[in-house]
Amino acid sequence: MTEDHVDKQRRRFLTVVTAGVGAVGGIAAAVPFVNSMSPSARAKAAGAPVRIDISKLKVGQMLREEWRGNPVWVVRRSEEMIESLNAVEDELLDPQSSVATQQPTYVDGEFRSVTPEVLVVVGICTHLGCAPVQNFAIGADSGLGEDWQGGFYCPCHGSKFDLAGRVYKGVPAPTNLVVPPHRFEGESTIVVGEDPEGVA
Amino acid sequence: MSRILTKALEWVDDRFPLTKTWNEHLAEYYAPKNFNFWYYFGSLAMMILVIQIVTGIFLTMHYKPDAEKAFASVEYIMRDVPWGWLMRYLHAVGASMFFVVIYLHMFRGLLYGSHQRPRELIWLLGCVIFVALMAEAFMGYLLPWGQMSYWGAQVIISLFAAVPYVGEPLAEWIRGDFVVSDATLNRFFAFHVVALPLILVGLVFMHIVALHKVGSNNPDGIDIKKDKDANGVPKDGIPFHPYYSVKDLVGVVVFLIIYLAVVFFMPEFFGLFLEKDNFLPADSLQTPSDIVPLWYFTPFYSILRATTEDLMWFVRGLVVLTVIVAFIRTSNLAGRGAAAVVGAAFIIATFIYAPKFWGVVLMGLSIVALFLLPWLDRSPVRSIRYRGWMYKAALTVFVISFVILGYMGMHNTSGYDLFLFQNVVWAQICTMTYALFFILMPLYTVWDKTKPEPERVNFK
């Protein structure tokens, strides 16, 4: 076979078409591999709602539970704690909870809860995912300065949150802590991961 | 006997290029005769890679990649497996020593201009190896499933979540779950043990093939191939084997003395090689009081943490400076226009996205900058011996910045662990000087007054 009879244009066309079809096939074949790394059905099932019994939770105390592998905090706030939320407002980045992704629509923007007394938040810092620690001491005893009204402090990068999980100004965390979907079942049980009835 | 061996070799050589390969890469690979101390680290890095692979294979015989069992299986290796403690300490200390050697190897490149033409591709492959090695080390660190393993992974994977729009699903995809969990451990095991070692070995192979194609640089930075004798052998070249294979053997012995001293007498190395929080099993509900990555990541981690709202104006300043440098270096309109548009887009974006995202970007750029080095360095000479004061000063500042960044990455940002300033301020200053080393390089390497290079290599 000599080069004279080669139709260069036809050859180029066939090369491009073959490569193109091959590339499409390659991408299609990659899809199952890439998708196999997404959360499995079991991981998703583990995201099922959890029931938290708060009947033994005393005023001013906090309870830790696990939901979707994340720590969920339940705080029964005292009168003073609720009042402190107003006092710190000027130092907060987003006191009215305007970032929609951080809480469901049915919680109050300021208290960030269904009822002012009971706060439910995901205990994961919105900066880089550390678990902040509770520091409910007030003033200099807390080690966080004279003005500290109680709240949460992230040991990783120094982010501070108030008793409604609202982030302070000038810290690395960009948004308030996440309030998970939750509803009350009777007086003393909270279901985390489910919206209240009647809310879509 | 020897006739039989010769026959056997001939038989093989007819079927596989054994003698040819041996000659091309060892017995007749002519390397400059003036290699000094800094030229030990390439071969040492290869040896550590082998040590890591071998000890790793023996560790996988006993380790269980299961969130319920992983921590206990490491304790089992330490206590019950015969010589298990040795395998584990060799592997854990080996990881840190790998980075010691790699950082010195990279510094050698900066000293003698080994990144310059015609060795750009060797440098690029080396940078990819560095990134792959960081991924390998990071994923390996999750496997013991201690507190620091767990929370370190949590923080680093959350970095991806800082990317606008796709971040959260991306982080979920990497973890395979909503938090770091058994799924994450299992896949990191697969990457650490199978995927990345294969990639690393392949990259190292290409790194060496590329090196042997263009030939080794040397402390004088001059091309020895320009001056050859009647046989076509560079006058300043000596065969790699036996000259450098024997020299490297000395390096290996000294290295092993240091490495094994650490393995036997201080495997934790004051909490730097094995952090104390990692002796506690992972607990997803409680963060250690201070999350610190291993020392070899701290310079980059420091840059991440240094990027706060206060730094953003300085970052914008750097962007403006970069555009100015581009304007000075390029005279054509298209190039200048592109620089201005990209710079402006960058600055506008800094007002849209939060500093958290820019921390991730700056950290990424601090590594990307290394890749660009061959094109940023415009110096007519390679070696620091013939460069002027500007490059020497810049390199000194860069190394000091890198060390301070590394030191600050191990300490709380709000503390005062160095004189004068708060830790975060030191990290911010050094982030700036780190960036300036690269951004200003196209200027100072041209302005610098260089000395004439010698005709032949010399020993200093």
| pLDDT tens profile B256-266 | 999 999 999 99
Q: What is the pLDDT of residue A3?
A: 65
Q: How far is A112 from chain B (nearest CA, A)?
A: 22
| pLDDT tens profile B393-450 | 999 999 999 999 999 999 877 778 888 888 889 999 999 999 999 999 999 999 999 9
Enter the tokens of residue B102: 């790699």
CA–CA separation, B258 and B362 (whole Å):
35
Residue A176: which of A103, A77, A118 has the closest Cα?
Answer: A103
State the pLDDT confidence band at B189, using cuts at 50, 70 and 90. very high
Residue A31: list chain B partners with CB under 8 A.
none
Is A76 in the B-facing interface, judged by CB distances under 8 Å? no
Q: Indicate the average pLDDT of chain B.
A: 94
Q: Which residues pair with A183 in a beta bridge?
A: A191
Is A37 in the B-facing interface, judged by CB distances under 8 Å? yes
Are B155 and A47 a contacting pair at CB < 8 A? no
Q: How far is A76 from chain B (nearest CA, A)?
A: 19
Residue with tokens 């951004």: B439
In a 10 Å sphere around its CB, with 0-12 CB exposed, 13-18 middle and 19+ buried, how is residue B334 labelled? exposed
> What's the pTM?
0.89
Residue B378's Cα: distance from chain center in Å? 23
Residue B291: list chain A partners with CB under 8 A.
130, 155-156
Angle at B131 between CA B125 and CA B135, to 5 degrees: 140
Compute the Cα dihedral for B94, B96, B99, B104 and give only its sign.
negative
| pLDDT tens profile B119-142 | 999 999 999 999 999 999 999 999
CA–CA separation, B139 and B123 (whole Å):
24
Are B284 and A174 a contacting pair at CB < 8 A? no
Question: Testing the interface with A: which of B150, B170, B178 to mutate, by most A Cβ within 10 A?
Answer: B178
3-state DSSP: chain A helix, strand, coil percent, rounded to 5?
30, 20, 50
Is B154 in the A-facing interface, judged by CB distances under 8 Å? yes
| pLDDT tens profile A126-145 | 887 788 888 888 877 777 77
Is A139 in the B-facing interface, judged by CB distances under 8 Å? no
CA–CA separation, B233 and B225 (whole Å):
8
Are A40 and B284 a contacting pair at CB < 8 A? no
Looking at chain A, which residue has its C-alpha nearest residue B355? Answer: A172
3 state SS of A160: strand
Q: What is the pLDDT of residue A124?
A: 87
Question: Testing the interface with A: which of B181, B285, B292 to mutate, by most A Cβ within 10 A?
Answer: B285
Are B178 and A132 a contacting pair at CB < 8 A? no
Enter the tokens of residue A119: 């706060």
Are B285 and A68 a contacting pair at CB < 8 A? no
Q: Which residues pair with B32 in a beta bridge?
A: B237
Q: Which residues pair with B31 in a beta bridge?
A: B238
- What is the average pLDDT across B35-48? 96
Cβ neighbours, 10 Å, residue B268: 16
Give the list of residues 6+ apart from residue A110 with CB closer than 8 angstroms, or none.
A85, A86, A95, A96, A97, A164
Q: How far is B178 from chain A (nearest CA, A)?
A: 7
Q: What is the pLDDT of residue B376?
A: 96
Is B450 in the A-facing interface, judged by CB distances under 8 Å? no
Number of A to B CB contacts under 8 A, please give it.
85
Each as own residue / partner, the long-range contacts of residues A105-110 (CB below 8 Å, 24 or more positions apart, any chain) are: A105/A199, A106/A195, A106/A196, A106/A199, A107/A179, A110/A85, A110/A86, A110/A164
Is this complex scored with an ipTM above 0.85? no
Q: What is the pLDDT of residue B153?
A: 92
Q: What is the pLDDT of residue A140?
A: 75
Residue A39: list chain B partners with CB under 8 A.
172, 175-178, 183
